[in-house]
């Protein structure tokens, strides 16, 4: 049985391992060691507790999926001081666990967290595979979001 729960500070290592698994899936020829990365990631995770939330999917005690919500502070306006929006990032499900609804459950949970945090909008920079999933959950394309690549 798969369970979705809010990630805690203690999940830093598990989240890093999922991030590494995703990286080696995308770059199978990249032979870098993940030992330093896992430690660096866990440190990063402990430092962004104010601005980032995450959920994990667990199955039999193993972490099988994750997703992040970055809370982006927006410039206040009169009558709305605590403006912010949520940015969904790094949604990933281990290959053997895909196409069973886990990715959708992760995204729904992140949207719920964005609501609870008072976000007025949620954005996501989707990968090709995840597009139909986000569209099903109500995300729409917005043609005035412009992107300038700096490298």
Ligand X SMILES: CC(C)(COP(=O)(O)OP(=O)(O)OC[C@H]1O[C@@H](n2cnc3c(N)ncnc32)[C@H](O)[C@@H]1OP(=O)(O)O)[C@@H](O)C(=O)NCCC(=O)NCCS
Which residues contribute to the site for ligand X (CB under 6 A)?
22, 91-93, 98-104, 124, 126-127, 129-130, 132-133
Cβ 9 to ligand X shortest distance, Å? 23
Q: Which of 127, 120, 112 is nearest to 83 (CA)?
A: 120
User: Which residue in the shown chain puts its C-beta closest to ligand X?
Assistant: 103
In the bound state with ligand X, the residue whose beta carbon lies nearer, of 83 and 89, is 89
Between residues 54 and 130, which has the closer beta carbon with respect to ligand X? 130
Which of residues 76 and 127 has its CB atom nearest to ligand X in the complex?
Answer: 127
Q: Name which of 25 and 39 has its Cβ closer to ligand X.
A: 25
Cβ at position 113, least distance to ligand X in Å: 16
**Minimum gap (Å) between residue 22 Cβ and ligand X:** 6
Going by the DSSP 8-state scheme, the letter that residue 80 receives in this structure is: B
* Inter-residue contact 38 to 13 (CB < 8 Å): yes
CB of 110 to ligand X, least distance (A): 11
Residue 99, CA distances (Å) to 41, 78, 109, 124 in order: 27, 45, 17, 20
**Cβ-based neighbours of 137, under 8 Å, separated by 6 or more:** 104, 107, 108, 111
Whole-Å CA distances, 17 to 1, 91, 106, 148: 21, 14, 17, 30
């Amino acid at each position: 049985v798969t369970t979705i729960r809010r990630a805690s500070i203690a999940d830093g290592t598990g989240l890093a391992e999922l991030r590494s698994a995703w990286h080696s899936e995308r770059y199978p020829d990249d032979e870098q060691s993940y030992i330093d990365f896992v430690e660096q990631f866990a440190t990063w995770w402990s430092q962004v507790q104010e601005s980032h939330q995450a959920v994990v999917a667990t199955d039999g005690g193993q972490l099988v999926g994750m997703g992040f919500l970055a809370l982006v502070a927006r410039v206040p306006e009169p009558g709305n001081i605590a403006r912010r929006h949520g940015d969904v990032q790094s949604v990933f499900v281990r290959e053997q666990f895909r196409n069973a609804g886990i990715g959708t459950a992760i995204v729904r949970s992140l949207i719920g967290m964005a609501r609870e945090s008072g976000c007025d909008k949620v954005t996501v920079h989707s990968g090709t595979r995840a597009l139909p999933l986000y569209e099903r959950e109500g995300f729409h394309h917005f043609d005035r979001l412009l992107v300038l690549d700096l490298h």
